[in-house]
Amino acid sequence: MVRLSSLDALRGFIMIIMALDHTREFFHSGAMSFSPEDLSKTTPVLFFTRWITHLCAPVFMFTAGAAAFLWLERGHTKVELSSFLWKRGLWLALLEFTAFRFAIGFSLTSGPWLLSVLWALGLSLIVLAALIHLPLRVLTVVSVGTIALHNFADAWRPASVLWSVLHRLAVIPLGGVTVITAYPLIPWFAVMALGFCFGSILKNEAAARQRMTLRLGLVTTAAFVGLRWLNIYGDPSPWTSGVLGFLRTNKYPPSLLYLLMTLGPALILFSWLDRRERALPNPMIVFGRVPLFFFLLHFYTLHLLTYPFALVKYGEASFTLLASPAMGGSAAAYPPGYGYDLLTTYAIWIGLVIGSYPICLWFARYKERNRAWWLSYL
């Protein structure tokens, strides 16, 4: 089966809006002092600046699973796929504690140890390496069941490091360091496994897969609206009032409603992109074909950019070499009220995306021309 440009475009769109969220965390003044989903302090524009980026992690997990299925369909065996998945999973977990950790605070030793998205992706790939050997129908039931039922475990909060890694956001003092389990394994591995099952739909003729994907997206979105309206189950924070409150669902760990709210629209968007595959914007495809490269590139670029911006505004910028308060750094190390308005934040984001495109295009073309084994890990 040939590679689907529409799947790359969806992933590329996700990478672009992910860069918006990270730009906000590095530059927006509000990110240093309150959550954009704090309804007592936020504005609708700031809320939706954060809300749209909720699509990123679920869709990236989901498309990683779908890409694994398509890799299998290109003539590989399940044994070969398992080997690739667990090795890539270990690689991503290593990057979490090295390249990504250094990008946050330009240090490998200071600050808390954050178990975030690369960690979750890595562990989910390792789990998927085993799960792909299940019959596809069984794996679908396991994946949907885990996503649908895991919120029943919210009330169970044992003081266990293992449980925190599996299903609870926690700050854990461990051997003289602080570990933050921002991305517990459950239900992220199930989202990736469900993406693998979704890959079987992608084998269909274009019109058929577009119809099926659109229906799945509409049903998933309707399920979110219905369950959120009933306000009985699916999220640890019940809806109280207002549109913003209706859309404010729990990401750490991702609740059932959070995943329905994000994956439903993403499936609808994929169906729309798939209908326009021949005319898709090239930047979206390019970013979608080198997602890890773009992830690390944009994160380092953003952190480095804080230095000249701070030098102009504050006359001194050494504090920007530390982790920002929005990423676990000390607020005392930064000037009071540090940061910039939302318009400036958006301008930096747009400039970042435009500036990253030619670099990512070069790397995407380099990967196409060269088949070295190590390139499959970038």
pLDDT, tens digit (0-9, with 9 covering 90-100), for 181-197: 999 999 999 999 999 99
Angle at the Cα of 176 (from 174 to 179), degrees rounded to 5?
Answer: 40
Q: Which residues are within 8 A (CB) of 285 and not within 5 positions of it... i.e. 6 or more apart? A: 5, 8, 9, 12
Q: Which two tokens stand for residue 127?
A: 């789990």
Phi/psi-derived region of residue 11, left when phi > 0, alpha when psi is between -120 and 50, beta in every other case = alpha
pLDDT at 1 over 60: no
**What angle, 0 to 180 degrees and rounded to 10, lies between the N-to-C axes of helices 44-51 and 342-369?**
20
The whole-number pLDDT of residue 175 equals 79
Neighbouring-strand partners of residue 172? 179
The whole-number pLDDT of residue 48 equals 96
pLDDT at 2 over 70: no
pLDDT at 225 over 80: yes
For residues 8 and 127, give the distance between their C-alpha atoms in angstroms, rounded to a whole number.
23
Per-residue model confidence as pLDDT tens digits over 93-133:
999 999 999 999 898 887 788 899 999 999 999 999 999 99
The whole-number pLDDT of residue 177 equals 85
Number of domains in the chain: 1
Average pLDDT over residues 361-368: 91
Backbone φ and ψ of 295, nearest 5°: -60, -50
Show the domain range for 283.
Answer: 5-377
Q: Which residues are within 8 A (CB) of 146 and not within 5 positions of it... i.e. 6 or more apart? A: 186, 187, 189, 190
pLDDT at 378 over 80: no
The whole-number pLDDT of residue 375 equals 77
For residues 298 and 109, give the distance between their C-alpha atoms in angstroms, rounded to a whole number.
22
Q: What pTM, to 2 d.p., does this model score?
A: 0.94
